[in-house]
Chain A
């Protein structure tokens, strides 16, 4: 993956830049030693690494604002970072950037059960938001698998989803307001504890903008009362097509499960070997979970099980207690770890219309043969968000490139059937060059025009999202203007 040539002039001014930052930040909050900045050289897309010029770790919105103003005035690019779990290289630094990490900003500012919201600093991890309201039986709904580590900051930037978003929506549907620091240091609030915008929906625009429009320092999040209970069922089928048809029928039937997860045979085998969850060996597994009181769960499951039976399942297993529910989820939750044990892998997240599932799975199988790389599929089937894991050997020369080529083919396939490149991980650097496959030049121009408004100098995370060739004139214009 190509990155822009770092600005030599900025690198040459490192000492002045660090001095200016150190003036406005407490000691220990500016890191410039090469041995220490290396800790921030990549996110979870570990194939790409580059240490930043310096790292700043503010504790307040005021400190973020001071840092931004300095970087703006000195023409230094800024790359925001939450916990660094992006799979798309969204938080990958450039050699000429200040990496602004919000991890030390992890306070709960306000919890309000009566109005059902929580306000937090955005460095707080996703799971600890729920942790802060759990004692009152409330929770924060979006639950990415990385929720133990990832921060609300990254969730907002990527508009992250999770296993339960079929019912509860993704980050943007659960975000009520933010405090945002613009590139020139201006601090402003968008939204709040009330619903919807009185003008243009700028909150909706910020969410999912991958750290390119502003640094989000505080967030007001919707919290919900926990359901009385939840219960998963496991269903095995002897073909992907049948499993796909079953998903479609469940959705049509009027039950809205909180989750419908799909695993194919390679994934089932790997998970079984790793976690011993007792999964049946078959072509496709579905985990369907519903919520409510025991009687409500029975009512919904009877509809779902009836549908499943019409598709001749090789296995139907209803969890009878918490232990069995845990075992049904165990394999799915360890899928990524299991795949990591046997191979290096690249995780894609293209989304397709649910109706195209069988066709796309068949084509992925063919591509796997053509490239000679294994693929395991585990994904959120209810909303068509695929997660093909392409297996490769990072130590084998050429394998990573082969894997990337195959990944690009799979993502083009997703676009071809009416889907998109990324359902929840974001574009980052990873899918940047594929944007032209989904968007016409005018579509991309409209998006870049938005960035022009928020960040006229293109200093904030500039090398992401848009193909470098498409953003080049803007990035260079900003440089030349320095």
Chain B
């Protein structure tokens, strides 16, 4: 199935006789494998409305991300939350769509400062499991009218409804950017440096640590003079460290695209997990993980870990609050372990209840998120 309009999408879902496997570009096959008829969203494509002066973008869910980025770029704007491109890590080859970005709440290094995809979502239109068209939110920057189903749909991986249109807040691209590189820090030292930087007034928009390369990275962005000024202030703050500064725009962009797309862990075999914890828990936690390779983002709060196939990383997290998702897992690993972090009973009960309301027949990506 490949609907070209929301009305067609609604008809197809209403008429569906069995499970549907909802897919945008097919670049993010995360979750338990779904068996069902393919429902491609790529037919619903195009920018509905873009008002640079109001920082708002309304777009059909199947629109290629590249098309959106080009349109924004022409106006000197961007999607601030820096969505990850999963193709490198997952070895997929499709065309990422905005619907897939939203459904997975994909957010990159800048999440630490500006927020996640869900924080830039202004509105959604979607079709639920009965074929009913539902809208929530809108296209204005502040909106508390009724419940926030926009957040609920962001990161719901197509299990509550199929997105047909999304509205987003965009932001101007800064004039310039720089990366500050520290060398030779261990995890504890790196987290401490990143915490100090993030707790400074110098507006860090990226804080990552790559143990393989022995590098700890801080990013600053803004007007040229301001970037120079803040780089100087940070140098002073960390005067006991040798800091290398990367200024070339293309290089800065490439460095952070590598962090965003988890480049250091893409090669090699094994399962790749994504953990979200309190940054100061990271050093002690990774000591227990026994990972083959690690990458830290979000000041240390986001940990990417590559481990041998079938390793139950969650079992090694005991006592640490947060969650772990098996992003790249072999079929055997996914059959043996929940992909998404199991919830405490009251929340699992609510989640089940919501699924039952939005998709009473259980036909939208059934089982993808578990349960």
Q: Chain A: residues with CB nearer than 8 A to chain B?
A: 112-116, 137-138, 158-159, 161, 165, 169-170, 172-173, 182, 186, 188-190, 192-205, 207-209, 225-228, 248-249, 251-256, 292-293, 295-296, 299-300, 351-355, 380, 382-385, 418-427, 431, 435, 438-440, 442-444, 446-447, 449-454, 465
Contacts and interface: CB of A to CB of B under 8 A. Distances in A.
B280 interface: yes
Contacts of A252: 52-53, 75, 172
Contact of B148 (A205, A226, A354, A453): A205
A419 B139 CA distance: 7
A418 to B, nearest CB: 6
B287 interface: no
B111 interface: yes
A251 B229 CA distance: 23
B357 A424 contact: no
Interface string B325-361: 1000000000000001101101100110110011000
Contacts of A161: 142
Contacts, number: 257
B139 A418 contact: yes
Interface residues of B, number: 83
A207 B276 CA distance: 21
B227 to A, nearest CB: 10
A355 B51 contact: yes
B228 to A, nearest CB: 10
Given A188-B346, A198-B323, A443-B135, A385 B146 contact: no
Contacts of B279: 114-115
A384 B54 contact: yes
Interface in B134-164: 134-136, 138-152, 154-156, 160
The 6 closest A-B pairs by CB, nearest first: A204-B151, A198-B323, A198-B341, A423-B142, A453-B353, A383-B141
Given A199-B340, A201-B105, A227-B201, 14 more contacts: A115-B195, A116-B198, A158-B144, A161-B142, A196-B276, A201-B155, A207-B151, A296-B225, A351-B140, A420-B145, A426-B144, A438-B145, A443-B135, A444-B146
A137 B199 CA distance: 10
Contact of B354 (A208, A380, A450): A450
A158 B278 CA distance: 27
A114 B280 contact: yes
Interface centre among A189, A194, A293, A451 (most CB of B within 10 A): A194
A433 to B, nearest CB: 13
Contacts of B233: 293
Interface centre among B54, B195, B346, B351 (most CB of A within 10 A): B54
A353 B56 CA distance: 9
B195 A446 contact: no
Nearest to A353: B54
Contacts of A384: 54, 140-142
Nearest to B169: A383
Interface centre among B119, B156, B347, B350 (most CB of A within 10 A): B350
Nearest to A449: B357
A421 B144 CA distance: 8
Nearest to B351: A200
B289 interface: no
A253 B278 CA distance: 36
